[in-house]
Structure 1
């Protein structure tokens, strides 16, 4: 795992300032503390920070082909590189290292832009071909590894694993994008391809970007997408057998390492399945680590310990204190953009723990999206059956009115919280799913925003993100549709972003076998009844793992990886919330309604409403303004 950065002159061969490139590279020291190297030539500068995992002796970057005409900087792992090497050798290529990085330069020489279709892994890389005067960037299919870029007014293209490397250049404008801010307050993250800054973009997952010097700037192009055909004719038994084989293959590929390796073990189905398979493939006890919580409502440590005991792993546990909120500013600096998933706190801690024992850790991330594990999936399918019973023309006025009249009862048992359900039934399927996924719902965001900010939005709503992906999903199956949306939004923008930044903050490589693209493609051919059946989520995964995991591990309510925000905002963070949200850069920006924010704070403090999620979202936005934007920039954002 590494950090990459660089500068490319799209117009000519102007000299690249070595000191600037060094500063950009040094900003990502945490991503690769083992080595840092630069390559400069007229019109090009590449920087690389290395966390040595494979071919420690000779895998340094930037790395070149045989004659030095092709050079690459690469972040990630190509898991099938050992299969590609002999194929490339037969085509005449000579290898000077044993690294997966060298596969990239030779694959480019043989297969050009289509080289990415041959790679199985997680990757983000930038490549320069001097003979063709071509600059090429690519990102893996599921967006495990990040890649940012920006074209400056002078024709210089900046790129980096994190926004901070581009900010270190000094030429990137920090004008905030109002549309990105809207996406953040709806979703808790800024969705691909947008970033919080107008001038910068994220290269979307499964996309490439090709630029030829002197030509007009190219556009990002997709090279892969998941297709939910759901057309496999397969029995439950056959599906379980094939899944077991595919899990073994995916995990075996991700156990290749020259440094200590282990796994996260939360006590949930996904991470427990990964550990169970790892134990069967390893001659040594698997290193596992877990986070425990003081609050029993969030604590899964006992379940994790049961799996650790069953497979006799070398298990490490640390307890996260109930007042572990000192990371707010640290997280803001790590993520560079506003990011509102509070589970970033325990994720940061579990990565910190893992790095004490290993350099590589396997995780169960992606299992909910691919196997159908979220509770919201079952609720959505229930709502879909109700939506199918009545046309939208009847549902919209009927349930829309009920949604307006029904009180918001945060304090009541879930069965009595009908407002959200009524609101969802008054919408189309995609609109309803966006509604359920929104951290702050449409009406609440409207009250939160000032008239100045609404004018800057020009009518834009973050629900367009979901609508655009749904239009490309090419499926009418209700579960497959929202799985597709999640794979292009929540998985990339929230889950993968969280894990990448938290792990790389500790120079830890995390590998996600449940996001193997061949596994994802196979699962997308299976009928949805193999994912959710009889109200049981992850039906296939649980069935396949029954011989390997305790029943109470797999068939228990999902707990999640949460923190007690509501209590924090009524207790130790009470004054910080008031100070940050009512007096500071957020308040000074002119983009938010002060009266609405004050009402939210007061209602939450006296227990009348639970506003913990919107308050946390506002607090992390304020932390972003303070830590990333700098003094005075919040005010210029509204200009």
Structure 2
């Protein structure tokens, strides 16, 4: 696990200053505290910061192929590198190291671009082929590892693991993209199709770029796509056994490391399943850690402690309280771009806790997206059945007006909160699912914008790319399309970004076994009744894990890693909420109606409405603008 950066000249081969590449890498030192290196040649420079996980002393980077024909900088882990190495050795390849980096070099020289299909892992890498004088940039299937890129005024392409690596380049412009602000206000993060800065791109998950000195920059090309278009046939017992086989393979393959290894344990189904399978495969007690909160309704540490006791793990737990938000500027700095998933704070804290004992930690991320574990997915599956029964005009002209009249009752028991359901049924599936996922709907965002900013974004709405993702999904049902959008839009932009930045900030490698592409592809072909049944998501996963976990862990209501930010913004952080509208950084942009923002804060503090998520978004946006030096 590492940080990479570099510069490549398209259309020419101008010299690259190694000190410039070095500065880009220096700001990524947190990603790789164990070593560094820079290599340059006419028209290209590659830089690397190393966190040693496998072959601790023998795999420095940038790494040259044995014959000197290629050079690579690599961030990630290839879990099947030993099998690939044996296959390549049979074809005559020779290796000088025991790690996975040299295997990628040999795989490129043997199979070219097709080597990507053979890699099972998380990765972002830049490989320069000295013979063809071309640069090969690639990102893993789900976007676990990030890669930012920017075309600069001198004709070069700069790239780095984090935006801060590009910010270290003096030619990078710092002008905000107004469409990214619209995206951020909708989702709470800047999705992978956009960047907060104009001119900066993110290489999409499952894509590569092949660039040459003697040709214009080539666009990214897709090399892998998840499909929901097939369906498994078979008895539930057989599907259950196959799922468990894939899960065991995924977990055990990610337990390979030459450094101490452990796991995050929340006490939920996913992390508990990972810990159970780790304990099954390990001779030593598994090291586990968890984070709780000072608000009882959001605290899961008792469930985590129970699972830890069940499997005899070496467990540690700590709590997060509102007074720890004094480090909000540090939190904003981890992400560079504005990022408002409030669970980033406890995720960062649990990474800090884990790093005290281990260098690698396995997580349960990915199962909700892959196996329909989110409440919104279960609701959406039910709504789709209703949509199939009721004609569109009836839904639009009867349920829509009824939903508009129905009171918004955040305080009421969940069965009485019918407003959102009625409005969702009145819309088409893509609109409804986008609205269920958004932090703030289009009407609410529009009410916050100044007139000038509304003109700048024109007719663009953040939901449009999300809905297009759903419509173009290789899928057979509405639930398929919703899960596909979660896995390709939400997962890389929110969940994986959160885990990558918070873990790398403390020099910890996080691994996501439940995102093994073979496991996810298997889950995508499960019949819907094996994903959602009896009002429960992740049906087959829960059935498969009943041999390991008690029912009150498997079937208790999903709690999620939810920070009690609503309580905090009404209590110890109320002053922070009131100060948002008057913030100098936000005011200088001219993007927002300050009266509308003040009204949000007062409504929330009084308890009349829960505006915590959008207030937190504005607070994190303010801190990011200060860090990026953006004034509008």
Cα 1:324–1:402 change in 2 (3 A) is farther
Deviation at 1:338, TM superposition (A): 0.8
Aligned counterparts of 1:326 and 1:240: Cα–Cα separation in 2: 47
Aligned counterparts of 1:272 and 1:230: Cα–Cα separation in 2: 29
Q: Which residue of 2 aligns with 1:304?
A: 304
Matched, 1:402 2:402: yes
Q: Which moved more, 1:572-581 or 1:143-152?
A: 572-581
Residue by residue over 1:120-170, the C-alpha shift from the partner in whole angstroms, topping out at 9 and shown as x without a partner, is 000000010111011110000011111111111221100010000000112
SS at match of 1:57: coil
Matched, 1:73 2:73: yes
Q: Which residue of 1 aligns with 2:203?
A: 203
Contact residue 191 and residue 465 of structure 1 kept, 8 A: no
Q: Which moved more, 1:155-164 or 1:304-313?
A: 304-313
Aligned counterparts of 1:518 and 1:69: Cα–Cα separation in 2: 32
Q: Which moved more, 1:215-224 or 1:410-419?
A: 410-419
Aligned counterparts of 1:455 and 1:599: Cα–Cα separation in 2: 23
Residue by residue over 1:530-559, the C-alpha shift from the partner in whole angstroms, topping out at 9 and shown as x without a partner, is 111111221111111111111111010111
Matched, 1:382 2:369: no
Specify every segment of 5 or more residues in structure 2 that has no aligned partner in the other structure, as ranges: none
SS at match of 2:482: helix
Q: Which residue of 2 aligns with 1:267?
A: 267
Contact residue 295 and residue 322 of structure 1 kept, 8 A: no
Deviation at 1:40, TM superposition (A): 1.2
Deviation at 1:467, TM superposition (A): 2.0
Aligned counterparts of 2:91 and 2:163: Cα–Cα separation in 1: 38
Q: Which moved more, 1:13-22 or 1:348-357?
A: 13-22
Q: Which residue of 1 aligns with 2:427?
A: 427
Aligned counterparts of 2:410 and 2:623: Cα–Cα separation in 1: 27
Aligned residues: 632
Contact residue 290 and residue 301 of structure 1 kept, 8 A: yes
Aligned counterparts of 1:72 and 1:392: Cα–Cα separation in 2: 55
Q: Which residue of 1 aligns with 2:59?
A: 59
Contact residue 298 and residue 562 of structure 1 kept, 8 A: yes
Cα 1:386–1:155 change in 2 (3 A) is same
Residue by residue over 1:274-305, the C-alpha shift from the partner in whole angstroms, topping out at 9 and shown as x without a partner, is 11111111111111111122222111111111
Q: Which moved more, 1:234-243 or 1:410-419?
A: 410-419
Give the TM-score taking structure 1 as reference length: 0.97
Residue by residue over 1:47-80, the C-alpha shift from the partner in whole angstroms, topping out at 9 and shown as x without a partner, is 1000000011211100111222200000000100
Aligned counterparts of 2:402 and 2:330: Cα–Cα separation in 1: 43
Q: Which residue of 2 aligns with 1:5?
A: 5
- Cα root mean square deviation, aligned: 1.3
Aligned counterparts of 2:543 and 2:370: Cα–Cα separation in 1: 15
**After superposition, where does 1:313-328 map in structure 2 within 5 Å?**
313-328=313-328
Q: Which runs of 4+ in 1 moved over 4 A?
A: none
Q: Which residue of 2 aligns with 1:558?
A: 558
Matched, 1:163 2:163: yes
Q: Which residue of 1 aligns with 2:153?
A: 153
**After superposition, where does 1:50-449 map in structure 2 within 5 Å?**
50-449=50-449
Aligned counterparts of 2:581 and 2:43: Cα–Cα separation in 1: 45
Specify every segment of 5 or more residues in structure 1 that has no aligned partner in the other structure, as ranges: none
Q: Which moved more, 1:539-548 or 1:570-579?
A: 570-579
Aligned counterparts of 1:230 and 1:542: Cα–Cα separation in 2: 22
Aligned counterparts of 1:560 and 1:231: Cα–Cα separation in 2: 29
Aligned counterparts of 1:563 and 1:467: Cα–Cα separation in 2: 28
Q: Which residue of 1 aligns with 2:575?
A: 575
Deviation at 1:235, TM superposition (A): 1.1
Q: Which residue of 1 aligns with 2:535?
A: 535
Aligned counterparts of 1:548 and 1:440: Cα–Cα separation in 2: 40
Q: Which moved more, 1:331-340 or 1:378-387?
A: 378-387
Aligned counterparts of 2:294 and 2:567: Cα–Cα separation in 1: 13
Aligned counterparts of 2:615 and 2:420: Cα–Cα separation in 1: 19
Contact residue 243 and residue 522 of structure 2 kept, 8 A: no
